[in-house]
Amino acid sequence: MGQIASLFGIALKAIYGVIGNYGLSIIVFTIVVKLILMPLTVKQTKSTFAMSEINPKIKEIQAKYKNKPEKQNEEISKLYKESGINPLSGCLPILIQMPILMGLFYVFKDPVTYGVFANKAAMVAANGNFLWIKALSKPDYILAIFSGVSAYLMQKIMTPKDQQEGPMKMMTWLMAGMSLYWGFIFPAALALYWGVSNIFSVFQYHLITRPLKAKLIQEKEDKEASKASFKNK
């Protein structure tokens, strides 16, 4: 974890050297990380979108083989294979975020040790020069709320409507609650990273799903036009 934290410290130092504002440097760092993870995010979003499309078929299989769990699993696996979907692919970006958050926790807790600033005096000079925040190395209540609300919005917007009940609804509130709690006990810099990351994820989601939705609508229109043409013949 120390090596990851040191790497992040070097990256933040480079960004801060150009921008000269610690808070803005964290925001730019967040966007850079999200762009690096973009290929995985695209894969995750497409997988989630595809899952929502075949969800009615999954429910049909579950109802049909309600008393035959082995047959049910077999048919669902077959459906995934035919649709080219890996249900576990959506978990990868979430798993990658954990070491990133842990590494950044160490960096933001002690930015001098991990090379963001040359000494403590430089850190103190940069630490509170961002908006209303007095010290990015300490918790900030407003950023804690921002972190919790942004996590809730991200989960709510990015979870398909047909999956927003049951376990996923609980997950949405759990993510929001944990993000809010972290914001109250962790450095404000980490809450800033997490909040900006969540908001950027929402924009990424809309950017990725817009062409997918347009393609789906076009396919439905083509199918209906084909049926109408066949009837006229």
Quick: pLDDT tens for 160-192: 665 555 566 777 788 888 888 888 999 999 999
- The whole-angstrom separation of Cα 109 and Cα 105 is 6
What is the rounded end-to-end Cα distance, in angstroms, of the chain?
A: 68
Closest to 129 (Cα-Cα) out of 5, 16, 31: 16
Residue-level pLDDT at 171? 75
How crowded is residue 29: how many other Cβ atoms within 10 Å of its Cβ?
A: 22
Global pTM exceeds 0.95: no
Of 107, 140, 136, nearest in space to 22 by CA: 136
Q: Which helix (H) or strand (E) holds 222?
A: helix 188-232
Q: What is the pLDDT of residue 167?
A: 62
133: three-class secondary structure by DSSP: strand
pLDDT at 44: 74
Q: Cα–Cα distance between 106 and 96 in angstroms, integer?
A: 17
Confidence band, pLDDT 50/70/90 cuts, at residue 196: very high
pLDDT at 90 over 60: no
Residue indicated by tokens 């010290």: 135
The share of the chain scoring above pLDDT 90, in percent, equals: 17
| Rg of the chain over all Cα atoms, to the nearest angstrom | 22
Contact 202, 34 (CB under 8 A): no
Looking at residue 2, its pLDDT comes to 75
pLDDT of residue 32: 93
